[in-house]
Chain A
Amino acid sequence: MKLSGAQIIVESLLKEGVEVIFGFPGGVILPIYDVLYDSPLRHILVRHEQAAAHAADGYARATGKVGACLVTSGPGATNVVTGVATAYMDSVPMVVITGQVATPMIGNDAFQEADIVGITRPCTKHNYLVKDVKDLALTLKEAFHIAATGRPGPVLVDVPKDIILSEASYHYPETIYMRSYNPTYNGHPGQILKAAKAIVKAKRPIIYVGGGVINSGASEELLKLAKMTHTPVTTTLLGLGAFPEDSPLSLGMLGMHGAWHTNTAVSNTDLLLAIGARFDDRVTGKIEGFAPGAFIIHIDIDPSAISKNVRVDVPVVGDAKKVLIKLIETLEALPDRSNLKERRQWIKQIQEWKRTHPLSYEQDDKIIKPQYVVEEISRLTKGDAIITTEVGQSQMWTAQFCQFLRPRTFLSSGGLGTMGYGFPAAIGAQVAFPDKLVIDIAGDGSFQMNLQELATVVQYDLPLKVAILNNRCLGMIRQWQELFFGRRYSHSKLVGGPDFVRLAEAYGAVGLRATRPEEVTAVLKRAFAIPKPVIIDFQVDPEECVFPMVAAGASINNMILGKAEPKEPKRLLRAVK
């Protein structure tokens, strides 16, 4: 049976088990949209292609499946680039199908032409330009295979108009072998044994966990390892949720805005076990000051992540879950298992640091503190909600004051730091889990970068909530200007920002507002009870800063704990985690 390129694309997506595709139609991909018209494949029409990519990304992070999006050539394709780069930096499995002008027109500056394969080469795991309709099915199979296996990432498939229209006999391969692509899954047993011996010998070990543990589904093994070796666990931003933060062994997030006791523990550790993390500069601060004197074990599926920034003593290349299972087996087989007593002291020491320097903020009875909003969201949702964030202060406060208990409940743009990510990502998560509470914790600046998607959430009746921590400025920019640029607030005030309640109403969503601390809980409860999209405008203190913080280029144990002249604590000092 012969199918057109358009039919092959839709059939192949169905074969891959794609349930929903996020997209926006355009000239050259009209034939694909024509096939979608009576196809069982669900399509979510976004209002800007960037949001299609972020929504597919959010869907992928929330489910672990490959996210899919479909956009047209030229501007459609260039608009997804930010979303693709976001997914690439955070290792999110995603397949992006872009239309392209017809093959004979390529390179002729045709209408809506862009060399998207060239543009996205450095920000995709791989990309394809399909030049023969006979290759289309195999290419899509390869694309999904590459996106989902090894270190996951986005794969872009560019399909010219003549390929979409021409026909070929359709056969979708069941399995696939690529001689040039064979990720290593099983760790080397010798390396794992070395790692196990070092772990047993260590007196002050720390496990440092990144998004790789979530990608690999290794949370259970991680918990087992931490309990069995009595080792405290800290996570990166993307690792949040990989380890239950209500565990006494949890240290929360480390790095630039990590807790003081966490960074201090990392600075004093004698063994750092890094799993699925890449020693990002926001984590390490000054490299020389990061875990000095620690013996470093690094488990990662990507060989190029190892010894990239920090010299590693025992590298183990492999899938986190498989390696951890082996590591646990190896540890169990070792005769002398633990310096338990020593470690009890180590854990006690960290608890003491935590007691003297908790994550905290000053509560106020007149103005809403943004941290309080985040804390209340955490308290009310008890780790059951899927939380997405934008980028900046709102993101860091969420990481600090919201407690994450399960993997895939925290979706945030870590590597690229894309403002405008959280709202469309929440769309993807809500589409994947229609019955779950999905909340985007946003700033007023970030939210405005993709607020057009209000139309999408209303069209598809997605009951997600956006909690805007509205400080009428670009908070993190303002904070840096306050701390490092002599309070010269250059272009960081968002004057005339919209009335978010009326904005929500204009789109047909529900808008709520809280202006005083005592209203926060009630407004949140009300929002959670409304089965419709709700935008909540929390008018928060514009001068609040994210603390503690490590200045760019400083060591992570050299933290700024608060503003230079601290005001007297007004009411209570809250500490969570």
Chain B
Amino acid sequence: MRHTISILVENRFGVLSRVSGLFSGRGFNIESLSVGETLDPSVSRMTVVVRGDDLIVEQIKKQLNKLIDVIKVIDLTSEEFLERELVLVRVNAEPGVRAEVLRIADIFRARVVDVTPKSYTLESTGDESKVTAFLELLRPYGIQEVVRTGKVAIARARKVPTKAEKRAERKPAGKVVGFRE
């Protein structure tokens, strides 16, 4: 099954290879991986998408937690979450089809970021199915190059606050950046 794992880590050199080593050591291919700073510049967030047996992924999560540089591991798969990916695609746009390509871009709310007489470079964001559909529709025109960022994901906020959250509202506490407790 596919797991989207969000990992808060110390923003230091070498952390990425420690994290990726746990996957590669078991012969797991990471489908996508993105890393960026959080509000606190000493903390980075990694979003890892990986396919694998549930038990093994569970074991990897425990071992991720064991890494000294890892602050927190959350498997978003078990809760409701939003995921987005940004894609840059350079597609052939010969004079006869330029309008068609633009219309497809329009439908997907993609933006034109670069133009030549024979091509468009488009930027689009969305979840996996949207990005895939976008690329499939562009494919007949001839895609020259695709660059994807890998997925980033965030858990959906609860619509109704829990008791703990109500308590926390009354008594604000500075906890780990970027995670609701």
Query: Is B14 touching A129 in the complex (CB atoms < 8 A)?
Result: yes
Q: Contacts A117-B14, A118-B17 given; indicate if A126 touches B59 (C-beta within 8 A).
A: no
Whether B66 sits at the interface, judged by CB under 8 Å, is: yes
Which one, B58, B66, B176, contacts A302 given CB within 8 A? B66
Q: Cβ of A121: which chain B residues have Cβ within 8 Å of it?
A: 17-18, 21
The residue in chain A whose Cβ has the minimal distance to the Cβ of B62 is: A304
Q: Please count how many residues in chain A sit with their CB below 8 Å of the partner chain's CB atoms.
A: 17
Q: Is A491 an interface residue (CB 8 A)?
A: no
The answer to whether B17 and A303 touch across the interface, beta carbons within 8 angstroms, is: no
Please give, as numbers and ranges, the residues of chain A lying within 8 Å of B75 by CB-CB distance: none
Contact A180/B14 with A303-B62, A304-B65, A308-B59 known, Cβ cut-off 8 Å: no
Contact in complex: A125, B21 (CB < 8 Å): no
Say yes or no: B59 contacts A125, CB within 8 Å: no
Considering residues A118, A121, A180, A308, which has the most beta carbons from chain B within 10 angstroms of its beta carbon?
A180
Complex CA distance for A146 and B67, rounded to whole angstroms = 11
Known: A117-B14, A122-B21, A122-B25. A304 touches B63 (CB 8 A): yes
Rounded to whole angstroms, the CA-CA distance of A181 and B69 in the bound complex is 8
Query: Are A304 and B68 CB-contacts (below 8 A) given A121-B17, A121-B21, A129-B14?
Result: no
Decide if A179 is an interface residue (CB 8 Å cutoff): yes
Say if the beta carbon of B102 comes within 8 Å of chain A.
no
Q: Is the interface of B mostly helix, strand, loop or mixed?
A: mixed
B4-24 toward A: CB 8 Å interface, digit per residue (1/0)?
A: 000001100110011001000
B11 to A: closest C-beta gap in Å: 11
Query: Chain B interface residue count: which class?
Result: 20 to 34
Q: B66 to A180, Cβ gap below 8 A?
A: no
CB-CB < 8 A to B18: which residues of A?
121
Q: Which residue of the partner chain B has the closest CB to A124?
A: B68
Enumerate chain A residues within 8 angstroms of B176, measured Cβ to Cβ. 179
Bound-state Cα–Cα, A180 to B65, Å: 9
Whole-angstrom CA separation of A117 from B18 in the bound complex? 11
Provide the residues of chain B in CB contact with A181, threshold 8 Å: 68
Asked whether any CB of chain B lies closer than 8 Å to the CB of A495, the reply is no
Interface pairs (18), CB distance under 8 Å: A118-B17, A122-B21, A125-B68, A126-B67, A129-B13, A179-B71, A179-B176, A180-B9, A180-B10, A180-B69, A180-B71, A303-B62, A303-B65, A303-B66, A304-B59, A304-B62, A304-B63, A304-B65
The 8 closest A-B pairs by CB, nearest first: A304-B62, A126-B68, A180-B71, A304-B63, A181-B68, A303-B62, A304-B66, A180-B10
